[in-house]
Structure 1
Amino acid sequence: MVADACGPLHVYRTDPGDFHGAIASGTFGTVQLATVQAGPHSVERTERLAGQAAFTPLYLTCVLDGEVQVSQGGRTAVARTGNLFSHDSSRPFRMSMRRPIHMVSVKFDHRLVDLRVGLEHPLRAATWSGARGASVLLAGLLRSAALHMTELDMTVADQLGTSVASLVTAVCAEKLGRAGDDPAAARQALLHRVKTFARARLGSAELSPSVLARSHNISLRYLQLLFQDENTSPALWIRNERLGRCRDDLADPRTAHLTVANVAERWGLDSASHFSKLFRERYGLTPREWRRQASPTRD
């Protein structure tokens, strides 16, 4: 059961007698949520098991009741009731629960927080109090989701996924901003800040590579080098982010009242004809074709 929900793991009982546990999970937009209630136990992913896993997301977990000790990458952290903790399932880790545990986890792709699989980063065995800033909001949302996960219809589920993804990004930004003395980590932290800044301003037609460079006190050339590490450019990344938001809006029944031109303008793309050309180049369909395909009942 654990392997089905979390991928290959060694699972160890720590108490004699019967063992009871329950896992419920679901996909909500770009993230997955899973609630776990279980007796005392520990789990371990070895180097060999990490190499066997088909899906190796990051996890951000809220402890609803109990205590978890998580060890990864030479660090060990303890999360108690109300705390959040994170780990990276692409690398070896161990978690120990010495008494009954109730927790809810967000599973998400590394790209949500601008990381690459295999890269060293501060989200390995990291903890948050769950009582400050965005952590409070995320912890509250996850508590509610754990209670009502099976009752949500598709529209509400997508909205929940969007909210959770946004809060996960905000919570992780605190740790990712601490680069330390590692130059590679410093570049990654800066790139994350640049992308977070840009995502909050995609609707502005004024957003450009020059604005990003100026706002972060770096040269345009250095900005280009940051994005070059990911085989793209600042301008192309901004364009693709905008097109992705447009694609989501065109498939969303809540924005069905907007014209294609309105959707394009909403995300900083003023020319409807140019937008249609860019959209087709990226997705192989025109915006109207995509909208009809995504919403076949729409007139």
Structure 2
Amino acid sequence: MHLETQHDGTLVFGYLDTDSPDRFRASDTVLVKAAAPYAAEMRPERFGALNTCDISGEHGVQVSPHAPAAARDGAHLLGLLLSGDGTFEQDGRRCPLSPGDFVLYSAERPFRLDLGGNYRWFVMHLDSGTAKLMRLARNTTANQELPRSPSGRVLAAMLTELAHRARDLGPVARSEMGEHVSGVIRTLVREAGRQSLPADQAHVLDRIIDHIDRHLADGLPPVEIATAHHISVRSLHALFQRQGETVGAHIRRRRLDRIRRDLADPALAHLPAYTVAARWGIRGPSHFSKLFKAEFGVSPREFRDRFRLSAAQE
């Protein structure tokens, strides 16, 4: 962590982007205003592609983005309040925070975080794949309803335990936990844009999703899926459109999730990435690599190398 005193507060950087000693290059620079000279205990950790920092302070603070860093990086973040009280404002929304509440936000745009005294704030820099999804979603930043949704409650519990147990996890476990957390955040963001379905339609969709998961290695043309569930192809597409995606996009995403899981499996490390992808119905090395990077923000090789490095550090 680096601090630079300014006339209007303290510039703080290097708590997430720990590799950059220069505030003009760091992606995490913020301006902190406090009644007393700013001081805090910061404990950075890395969970695979996720950089986090557990921050504790005795005095209340007001935090806003530092324009040069925010304009360059376009970072998307998640902040979880572990103790104390606070508020977060962005995009015209004001989100009150109590212990256990989290907020999604973007450093691309102005924000204001106010934390009362004796606070503990756990902040996470999201991976590029999740950030891309957030850019396409609506009403996710400073949305106080997200932590209260079913997926939000699961995520808040995961993050709270992660913050408390971080030092007890080994390198491989931290990487795997990062993947799990990213998956739940993506589920939460997608869920925020979905329409609710009547009970009978929700039941049909549940059966269709289960069918797709059991046949991901097969062709899965829409007409076969519709026929298997005694509905028209038009009705099939309508069910998924109300969930904010197409049938094809859902199948592709579920296949990529399975491929990502297998690429992280040491028992399958001897198989080329494109062979793993072909087992789940995605063929063509170049095509697969483009799909994987678009979904997760890294190439299959980079993803696999990250897990190999973590295993070597055990």
TM-score scaled to structure 1, two decimals?
0.65
User: Which stretch of the first structure deviates more once superposed, 134-143 or 89-98?
Assistant: 134-143
Please give the secondary structure, in 2, of the residue aligned with 1:115: helix
Does 2:160 correspond to 1:143? yes
Task: State whether structure 2 residue 133 is matched by structure 1 residue 115.
Answer: yes
Measured in 2, the distance between the counterparts of 1:92 and 1:125 equals 12
State the identity as a percent.
21
CA RMSD of aligned residues (A): 4.3
Matched residue of 2:96: which SS?
strand
Distance change (3 Å), C-alpha of 1:162 and 1:266: farther
Counterpart position of 2:79: 61
Determine whether 1:97 maps to 2:103. no
1:23-73 residue CA offsets vs partner (Å, 9 max, x unmatched): 222332343332221231011126x4465433512x222211111211111
Q: CA contact under 8 A between 1:82 and 1:139: conserved in structure 2?
A: yes
Structure 2, unpaired ranges of 5+: 2-11, 17-26, 196-208, 226-232, 291-300
Pairs aligned (count): 252
Which stretch shows the higher mean deviation, 66-75 or 136-145? Answer: 136-145
Pick from 80, 101, 104 the counterpart of residue 86 of structure 1. 104
Distance in structure 2 (CA, Å) of the matches to 1:136 and 1:75 = 21
**Contact 1:12 1:42 (8 Å CA) reproduced:** yes
3-state SS in 2 of match to 1:127: coil
Distance 1:239 1:129, change over 3 A: closer
Selected match of 1:157 from 144, 153, 174: 174
| Residue of structure 1 equivalent to 2:190 | 173
Measured in 1, the distance between the counterparts of 2:192 and 2:253 equals 26
Quick one: which amino acid aligns to residue 252 of structure 1? D
* Paired amino acid for 2:280: W
Paired with 2:91 and 2:287, the residues of 1 have a C-alpha distance of: 42
CA distance in 2, matches of 1:214, 1:265: 29
Matches of 1:73 and 1:261, distance apart in 2: 42
2:65 to 45, 49, 53: 45
Q: 2:32 matched to which residue of 1? A: 11
Structure 1 residue aligned with 2:141: 124
What is the Cα deviation at residue 130 of structure 1?
A: 4.4
> Which moved further from structure 2: 31-40 or 79-88?
31-40
Give the letter aligned to residue 96 of structure 1: D
- Distance verdict in 2 for CA 1:33–1:156, change over 3 Å: same
Are the aligned partners of 1:60 and 1:86 in contact in 2 as well (CA < 8 Å)?
yes
Q: Answer yes or no: is the 8 Å Cα contact 2:88–2:142 preserved in 1.
A: yes
SS at 2:173 equivalent: helix
Distance in 2 (CA, whole Å) between partners of 1:129 and 1:66 is: 20
The separation in 1 between residues aligned to 2:155 and 2:250, in whole angstroms, is 28
1:217-237 superposed Cα distances (whole Å, 9 cap, x missing partner): 189xx99xx89xxxxxx8699
Judged with a 3 Å threshold, the aligned counterparts in structure 2 of structure 1 residues 141 and 120 are, in CA distance, closer, same or farther, namely closer
Task: Note closer, same or farther for the CA distance 1:213–1:90 as it changes in structure 2 (3 Å cut).
Answer: farther
Q: Which moved more, 1:74-83 or 1:24-33?
A: 24-33
Task: Provide the C-alpha distance between the structure 2 equivalents of 1:88 and 1:242, rounded to a whole number of angstroms.
Answer: 29
Displacement of 1:99 in angstroms is 2.1
Q: Secondary structure at the match of 2:62?
A: strand
Residues 1:34 and 2:53 are matched in the alignment: yes
Residue 92 of structure 2 aligns with an amino acid whose one-letter code is G
Structure 1 unpaired stretches of 5+: 179-196, 228-233, 270-274, 285-289
What's the CA shift for 1:21? 0.8
Q: Is the aligned partner of 1:70 residue 2:88?
A: yes
CA distance in structure 2 between the partners assigned to 1:66 and 1:253 by the alignment: 41
Match of 1:184 in 2: none
SS of equivalent residue, structure 2 residue 156: helix
